């Protein structure tokens, strides 16, 4: 795919470890592996969009340079696709047991989404890791390290990636917007950071989606693309119900559903995010949390969305009247 047509997440992926931000303790140790030209098997665990795959690719690129592609010194697989035991016993084993080129100490196998591998596949992988360590080192990337069996974890050094902070996401989004000649209002930038929730990949994807609508991105465009409602509109629904105005709160909620096309569960998630900023007693916030949990469960069991959402607002009105 031509460089200009690649998705922005790939196009603006950091190329070297020095460009990876907000994971300073981890990046420093990975740089030491590069300097030593040696590394153990690794597990990169953490939330999506925090730089796990980017760090692995940047590390391999610094280790091998042009040899990364020319001499087949590295292989990247998505374990959610190649998750069966047959793949481990054939494709991965063949790559691991083949000797690396003379000028390379070892090859690297990157297994992305390794927590999606079946248990038998993981059992087969642990023997391959042990037997062919001299030829091949493995980097297992996952969201949940507890889904990796203990025998594999004991053979690896585990690095835990954290969510990116808002300043680092803002910096990257502004850089991408500048490169693509897209205007960002301060409200639009803050909205992208809010809806991405520490996930830089999601932030760049939202920026690209908004960029197809307008070259000037504001808060309203971001919330529409992200399928989320501006916080002040959600607070209006909650405050109206708390004041005991059921009919008006239902009307405001219906307008939100029509305007933003949200599902019932999305509405409840938006409500849940705002209840802790309401100026009400702590005990009332606790009761609101219980109500939202109850109605979220009802929707997950197949309840009719409009009936359940209106019943939720009615419960909030009754809750306030009983205070």
Give the model confidence (pLDDT) of 224-255 as tens digits.
Answer: 888 778 888 888 999 999 888 999 999 999 98
The mean pLDDT of 179-200, rounded to a whole number, is 89
Mean pLDDT lowest among 50-64, 88-102, 275-289:
88-102
Least confident range of 5-9, 139-143, 185-189, 233-237: 5-9
pLDDT > 70: percent of the chain = 93
Beta bridge partners of 142: 45
Which value, in Å, is the radius of gyration of the alpha carbons in the chain?
24
The pair of three-digit structure tokens given for residue 299, joined into one six-digit string = 């929707």
The mean pLDDT value for 298-323 works out to 87
Bridge partners (DSSP) listed for residue 112: 78
Least confident of 4-18, 95-109, 281-295: 4-18
Rounded CA-CA distance 243/215 in Å is: 41
Coil, strand or helix: which one is 112? strand
- In the chain the beta strands, taken as DSSP E runs, fall at 41-45, 74-78, 107-112, 136-142, 156-160, 183-184, 216-217
- The pLDDT of residue 83 is 63
d(CA 122, CA 68): 26
Mean pLDDT along residues 61-78: 76
Q: Is the pLDDT of residue 7 over 80?
A: no
Q: Check residue 311 and give its pLDDT.
A: 93
Does 39 have pLDDT greater than 50?
A: yes
Give the homologous superfamily in CATH for domain 3-160.
P-loop containing nucleotide triphosphate hydrolases (3.40.50.300)
pLDDT at position 70 is 57
The listed CATH number (1.20.272.10, 3.30.479.30, 3.40.50.150, 3.40.50.300) that belongs to domain 231-321: 1.20.272.10
CA distance 156 to 142: 13
pLDDT for residue 81? 65
Query: Is the domain 166-226 a CATH 2.40.160.40 member?
Result: no
Query: Domain locations in the chain?
Result: 3-160, 166-226, 231-321
- Indicate the pLDDT class of residue 192, thresholds 50, 70 and 90: very high
Three-class SS state of 74: strand
| DSSP conformation letters of 267-287 | HHHHHHHHHTTSSS-HHHHHH
- pLDDT band with cut points at 50, 70 and 90 for residue 259: confident
φ and ψ at residue 182, rounded to 5 degrees:
-115, 135
* 32 bridge partner residues: none
Average pLDDT over residues 157-166: 89
Question: Helices 282-300 and 305-321 meet at what angle, rounded to 10?
Answer: 160
Tell me the sheet residues that pair with 141: 44
Q: Is the pLDDT of residue 118 over 90?
A: no
Dihedral pair phi/psi, residue 7, rounded to 5°: -55, 145
Query: Rounded CA gap, 318 and 307, in Å?
Result: 16
**Token output for 86:** 């047959």
2 pLDDT band, cuts 50/70/90, is: very low
**Beta-carbon neighbour count of residue 152 at 10 Å?**
21
Residue 295 has pLDDT above 90, yes or no: yes
Q: Can you tell me the mean pLDDT for 39-64? A: 89
pLDDT (average), residues 4-32: 79
- pTM for the model: 0.77
Q: How far is CA 31 from the centre of its chain?
A: 24
pLDDT band, very low/low/confident/very high, at 3 (cuts 50, 70, 90): very low
What are the start-end ranges of the E strands in 72-153?
A: 74-78, 107-112, 136-142
Measuring CA to CA, how many Å separate 207 from each of 187, 260, 274?
13, 18, 24
Evaluate if residue 49 carries a pLDDT over 60: yes
């Amino acid at each position: 795919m031509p460089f200009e047509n690649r998705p922005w997440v790939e196009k603006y992926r950091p190329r070297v470890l020095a460009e990876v931000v907000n994971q300073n303790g981890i990046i420093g140790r990975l740089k030491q592996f590069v300097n030593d030209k040696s590394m153990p098997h690794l597990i990169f665990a953490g939330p999506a969009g925090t730089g796990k795959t980017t760090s692995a690719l940047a590390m391999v690129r610094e280790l091998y340079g042009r040899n990364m592609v020319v001499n087949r010194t590295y292989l990247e697989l998505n374990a959610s696709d190649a998750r069966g035991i047959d793949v481990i016993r054939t494709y991965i084993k063949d790559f691991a047991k083949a000797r690396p080129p003379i000028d390379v100490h070892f090859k690297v196998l990157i297994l992305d989404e390794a927590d999606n591998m079946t248990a038998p596949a993981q059992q087969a992988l642990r023997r391959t890791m042990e037997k062919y360590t001299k030829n091949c080192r493995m980097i297992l990337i996952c969201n949940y390290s507890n889904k990796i069996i203990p025998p594999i974890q004991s053979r690896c050094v585990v690095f835990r990636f954290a969510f990116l902070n808002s300043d680092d996401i803002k910096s990257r989004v502004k850089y991408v917007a500048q490169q693509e000649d897209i205007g960002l209002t301060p409200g639009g930038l803050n909205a992208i950071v809010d809806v991405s929730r520490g996930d830089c990949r999601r932030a760049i994807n939202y920026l690209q989606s908004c960029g197809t609508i307008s070259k000037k991105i504001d808060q309203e465009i971001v919330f529409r693309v992200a399928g989320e409602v501006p916080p002040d509109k959600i607070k209006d629904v909650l405050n109206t119900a708390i004041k005991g105005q059921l009919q008006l709160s239902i009307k405001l909620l219906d307008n939100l559903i029509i305007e933003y096309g949200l599902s019932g569960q999305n509405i409840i998630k938006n409500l849940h995010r705002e209840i802790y900023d309401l100026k009400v007693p702590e005990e009332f916030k606790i009761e609101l949390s219980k109500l939202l949990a109850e109605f979220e469960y009802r929707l997950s069991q197949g309840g009719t969305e409009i009936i359940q959402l209106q019943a939720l607002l009615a419960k909030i009105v009754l809750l306030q009247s009983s205070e």
